[in-house]
Amino acid sequence: MTRTFLLLIAAFSLLTTTAIRAQNVAPLPIPAPPGLAAKSYLLVDYHTGRVIAESNADMRLEPASLTKMMTAYIVSFQLTHSDLSPDDLVPVSHNAYKTIGSRSFLEPGSQVSVRDLMYGLVVQSGNDASVALAEHVGGSEEGFVTMMNEMAKRLGMADTNFVNATGLPAKDHYTTSRDMAKLAVAVIRDHPAHYRLYSVKEFTHNGIKQKNRNTLLLHDPTVDGIKTGHTEAAGYCLVASAKRGDMRLISVLMGARNEQQRGTESLRALNYGFRFYETLKIAEAKQKLGKVQVWGGQEDDVAMAVPTDHYVTLQSGQKTGLVPEFKMSSDVVAPVTAGQKLGVVSYKLNNKVVAELPIVALQAVERGGFFTRTADAFKRMLK
């Protein structure tokens, strides 16, 4: 056996530490996803983006207070990428104070920190807090809405248009379940510290305690977010996320008939996904998998890895049939750059490729001296 082949065997062993082995045992068919009482819904795996269940996921609907997910995302973005600080004091305008609907009971003319306004926005769903933040960050609510729609484009929310920062009914203010799922993924992925706000069960401002309207936080300890919404036109809406083990699912439900129904139906969707599917981490970023021989280099070999974490979502019980297959470059010749592609590993299930990942060099290898290159060239010729 050649040295390269032996190194690949070592890499194979490391990649299969989860005891993945080929079997021809087909899992039992799973039941169809539950039909949920809502105008639109979507159930998606956070890590892989795999859609597990959906109905009318691209139907344009009013988002109600789901809008505040984008309002909070913009504020989080500015806190990360500008000089905005959680301790900044925001003057509460009369315009913010008189905003109708759910509120944090802000006093006009008072000054409230960005931090407390974010709690008011996310936990209490305060429309007044939402407008106060929009005016402070965007100069006006209209200016802030421009930022919201620009961010929606960046996140690939092609069927969304915001008119205000609150979700109060307005012409041409719409989104879809699919776009809300994209936003939920971004909220969790891009600002994890701020995402923790969505699991806070209650918040008190101005002496008034209000509970988070996401009742799933009380009924299921694996649920850690994210946002409810309700208007007469939109019905009852809920974007929920739960994490069980290494698997995180996001459900979006829009247009339920009442508060109890949106919670019950969302939990049905989540339970279905966790019961019949599993997420498997098949690759960890830059974890050394082994080494590959390098010809004509200052080093005899180079460590290899996959460049990013990678997950797959499978039907429960299928992971034992997942088979990795390596295809490596026949000869690796110096110089080698860090990140240079050395080959690929394909994961197959029932002879169908479910993931294909590049294998790259973990570090650079410079060209060796004249005698090293000459000797290696002779060895390659004999090989």
Residues 17 and 154 placed together within one structural domain of the fold: no
**Does residue 261 have a pLDDT over 90?**
yes
**Residue 271 located in a structural domain:** no
Residue-wise pLDDT tens digits, 29-70: 889 999 999 999 999 999 999 999 999 999 999 999 999 999
Q: Are residues 18 and 50 in the same domain?
A: no
Domain contains 273: no
What are 253's two structure tokens? 């439900």
Please state the rounded mean pLDDT for residues 247-264: 97
Residue 104 lies in a domain: yes
Mean pLDDT of 182-203: 97
The residues facing 83 across adjacent strands are none
* Adjacent-strand bridge partners of 27: none
Higher-confidence residue of 380 and 9: namely 380
The CATH code of the domain that includes 189 is 3.40.710.10
The pLDDT assigned to 374 comes to 72
Is the pLDDT at 11 greater than 70? The verdict is no
Q: Are residues 233 and 290 in the same domain?
A: no
262 within some domain: no
Angle (deg, nearest 10), helices 141-154 and 127-138? 90
Region 234-238 average pLDDT:
98
Give the number of domains in the chain: 2
Q: Which of the listed residues 241, 256, 271 is the one where a domain comes to its end?
A: 256
What's the pLDDT band for 102 if we cut at 50, 70, 90? very high
% pLDDT > 70, the chain = 92
Out of 86-90, 208-212, 282-286, least confident range: 282-286
378 found inside a domain: yes
User: What is the rounded average pLDDT of the residues 311-318?
Assistant: 93
Domain presence at residue 348? yes
Catalytic, 130? Answer: no
236 occurs within a structural domain: yes
Neighbour count for residue 35 (Cβ, 10 Å): 11
> In the predicted model, is pLDDT for residue 189 greater than 60?
yes
- Dump pLDDT digits (tens) for 17-31: 444 444 445 667 889
Catalytic residue among 40, 76, 93, 125: 125
Kindly state whether residues 21 and 48 are assigned to the same domain: no
Average pLDDT (109-128) is: 98
Q: Based on the fold, state whether residues 160 and 298 are members of the same structural domain.
A: no
- Distance CA(149)–CA(26), nearest Å, equals 46
Q: Is 125 a catalytic residue?
A: yes
Based on the fold, state whether residues 20 and 71 are members of the same structural domain. no
Asked if residue 49 and residue 20 are part of one domain, the reply reads: no
> pLDDT band at residue 7, thresholds of 50, 70 and 90?
very low
Residue 116 pLDDT:
98
Q: Which residue has the higher pLDDT, 222 or 326?
A: 222
Strand segments (E) across the chain: 40-45, 51-55, 89-91, 111-113, 202-205, 208-211, 223-231, 235-244, 247-256, 277-283, 290-293, 301-305, 310-315, 322-328, 341-349, 352-361
Give the CATH number, domain containing residue 366.
2.60.410.10
Query: Catalytic residue at 65?
Result: yes
Output the pTM of the full model.
0.87
Domain of 168 in residue numbering reads as: 40-256
Catalytic-labelled residue, pool 39, 68, 227, 319: 68
**14 and 52, same domain (yes or no):** no
Let me know whether 243 and 297 are in one domain: no
| Cβ atoms 353, 346 nearer than 8 A | yes
Lowest mean pLDDT among 131-140, 156-165, 204-213, 327-336: 327-336
Contact 227, 12 (CB under 8 A): no
Over residues 272-288, the mean pLDDT reads: 94
The mean pLDDT of the chain is: 91
Shared domain check, 228 and 309: no
User: Which one of 65, 76, 93, 266 is the catalytic residue?
Assistant: 65
Same domain, 230 and 206: yes
Please give the biggest Cα pair distance in the chain.
85
pLDDT surpassing 70 at residue 274: yes
Confidence bin at 134 (pLDDT 50/70/90): very high
Q: What is the pLDDT of residue 263?
A: 97
Residue 117, domain member (yes or no) = yes
DSSP 3-state helix, strand, coil percentages of the chain (rounded to 5)? 35, 30, 35
Q: Are residues 152 and 295 in the same domain?
A: no
